[in-house]
Every structure is written in C-alpha cells, then in structure tokens.
Amino acid sequence: MDNKMNLIDLFCQNQQISDWKKNLHKSSRQLIMGLSASTKAITIAAGLEESEKILVLTSSQNEADRLASDLISLLGEDKVYTFLADDTPIAEFVFASQEKIFSRLDALNFLIDHQKSGILVTNVAASKLLLPDSIDFKNTNINLTVGQEYDLNNLVKMLSRSGYKKVSQVLSQGEYSLRGDILDIFERSAEAPYRLEFFGDEIDGIRIFNPENQTSIDNIESILIKPASDVLLSEKDYARGRENLEVILEKAVDPALKSYLKDLLISAKEEFHHADIRKFLSYFYQKEWTILDYLPVHSPVFFDDFQKIVDRHAQFELETASLLTDDLQNCKALSSQKYFADKYQDYRQYKPATFFSSFQKGL
C-alpha cells in the first residue's frame, strides 16, 4: 500500500492535477481530459486526500465495476464502495440480486457514517433508484439486548419492514423465523444466524448457532440488526401508499387494472412488500430520494465520462418509457407512475464537480 500511495503522491506532482486538487472543495466545475483508465483511477484516488467522501458517476455497470476494481487496488477494499443497478430498467424489477442489494446497503451506511472516508462508485441506472428518507434509513437499525423487553409481534413487523423474509427455517442472510417464543434472525452481514429466546416480552438469551445442525456456537449479550433491503417503508410510507392507491382505485375503470390495484392495496394494508413494490415507490415515499440525497453536503461528484453518461441517460429514459407503455397495455401500471427518480438536472448543476472526458464534446 505504501508503494501505491507513493505512486499517488508522485502523480500529484503534476501541475494540472495539483491545481485540480486545490480547487476540489470550491463550488466549481472542473474538466480533466485525456486520462487513461489507470491514471484516471489514480487521480480519483488522489481526490480522497482532499475530501472525506467522493461520489463517482459512471455510464454503465461494467464501467463502474472496472473503476471500483482499479480503485481497490490503489486504496484497499475498506475505502471503496459500490452502489450499482443493471443498466436495463426491467432487470431491476425482475431480479435484483441479494449480493447487489447488500452492497447498496453498505454504500448507504458508508454515506451516513461521519467517521468513514472513501469513494462510492455508482452508475446511471443506480443513481435513479428511489430510496427511503435517509433519516428513516438511519432509524431502521434494530438493537436487541438480553434482559430488555420487546413486543414480539412488533419486532417481527419491524423485521419485515427492514426487508427480512419470513421462512420456516433460516438458512441465508436476510431471513427470520418465529416458533413460539423463539425468534431466529440471520442478519444480513452476519456469518451465522442468531437465536433469541423470549420469556414473555423479555429476551432471556441470545446465541449464535449453526443453521445446518442447530448447534450453539456462542452466547452473546446484544446484537444490531441492519436492514436487508434498500426498499424500506415506514408506517407513514405505508399509510401514504394506501391513501394514494385507494384514490386511484376509485377512479379505475378497467377490471384487470382494478384487480391488480386491489392486490397492491391489500399488501399495503398488511404492510407486506408486493412483488411489484419497486415500481410503485413513488406513491409511498414522500419525496424522490436518491443516492445523491445521502451524499454529505459539499462532497465532490466526479463524472466518468460525461458524454457517455449523457448518452446512457437518454437510452435509459427511452427504455423506461417503453417498459411503462408495455405495463400500461397489460393493466399493470398507471399513466402518472414514475418508475425511477429524475435527478438528471440536479447532477448537471451540482457543485463541486469534476468531469472526466476523452474529448470535449457535449461539455
């Protein structure tokens, strides 16, 4: 790592890079052209010497993965985070891998942690994902301690809201099961699940156990349960969603659409994530929160590279419009629906910003 840091220091002796670093925190927009992939990664890594947190926006998931890999080789895994989504809109609704979702959650936790410094790499599609209010996200963590009292039914409801799936037996991260006074939770970042034994409303014991043979590994006093999904809905969100869906349902005419909306409404009343909940988040969330809203004020945003980002944004918008049209024809959407947030102008006007580009076209 020392040799790599020396490489960064050596690179920063370049006058253009040195001047760029000095202006990194000013409310300015800077342009750097003609860098290779490797020197671009070194430049971005050098920016971390001037700022606690940096957001890098790339055009595609592949570009983001490649850049993150280069940055990790320079800074180490503890300084690089990814917040990614498939470049095709429909993929996010059909299948978003658990690994990718957990990586997003790590990225969000990094952004709200004032003690951590690092670089977050995202792509155009991920930058448009609708997210919960950052305050609600912070409050979703659940602290459980032996000897403390908790309403078990309410605790189970909190786990469901946090994205945990109820199963008969926990085997994978992000699952929980309830059998009488025993609650098993496989926390999303844990290597093994926890078993909580209740005596009335009091936690009588917490132990780590092997999910395959059910044998105990260790007894512990307390645990922290972090969200297992980036789709988090509070009581107020569910209430807002129910109200909006009820109004829409009253105006609906098509029988197929009414039936579909009723299914959505039932899920909202039971505070359960419908299979298509990601498509309807705009009716549940109060505002369009995205990854940009989690970024601390005055943190630099780097665009790599800007013209590719512009082109990808335009393509993504066309594909999203086509998807919405298909869903409308299949009575699975509403004309007022917004599948993704529109933060394009916010990014274009953001300061401080640095634009990396092979050429000046479009800047």
Q: Return the half-sphere exposure (C-beta side, CA atoms, 13 A cut-off) of residue 351.
A: 7
Integer-rounded Cα radius of gyration of the chain: 23
Pick the closest to residue 121 from 147, 83, 150 (CA basis). Answer: 83
Are 351 and 29 contacting, i.e. CB atoms less than 8 angstroms apart? yes
Domains 2-129+290-357 and 141-225 alike in fold: no
pLDDT for the residue numbered 66 = 96
pLDDT (tens digit per residue) in 309-331 = 999 999 999 999 999 999 999 99
CATH topology of domain 141-225: Penicillin-binding protein 1b fold (3.30.2060)
Task: Report phi then psi at 209, rounded to 5.
Answer: -140, 160
Pairing outcome for strands 175-179 and 165-166 = parallel
Q: What is the DSSP letter of 286?
A: S
Which segments of the chain have a pLDDT < 50? 360-363
- Rounded-to-integer distance, Cα 294 and Cα 110, Å: 10
pLDDT of residue 363: 37
Q: Residue-wise over 61-82: b if at least 16 C-beta within 10 A, else e?
A: bebbeebbebbbebbeeebbbb
Backbone angles phi, psi at 194, to 5 degrees: -110, 145
Instruction: Return the ∠ at Cα 120 (arms to 301 and 311), rounded to 5°.
Output: 60
> 92, 78, 149: which is closest to 124 by C-alpha?
92
Looking at residue 2, what is its pLDDT?
Answer: 56
Q: Which two tokens stand for residue 342?
A: 């529109």
Superfamily of domain 2-129+290-357: P-loop containing nucleotide triphosphate hydrolases (3.40.50.300)
Q: What is the pLDDT of residue 13?
A: 79
Task: Give the pLDDT confidence score for residue 359 in this predicted structure.
Answer: 62
- The answer to whether the pTM exceeds 0.85 is yes
Best CA proximity match to 292, nearest among 349, 238, 212, 228: 349
**Which pair of structure tokens corresponds to residue 262?**
């009723």
Domain ranges of the chain: 2-129+290-357, 141-225, 235-283
Whole-number average pLDDT of the chain: 92
Q: Give pLDDT, residue 3.
A: 56
- At 8, phi and psi to the nearest 5? -65, -45
CA nearest to 273, candidates 169, 171, 174, 180: 174
**Residues 150/203, Cβ–Cβ less than 8 Å:** yes
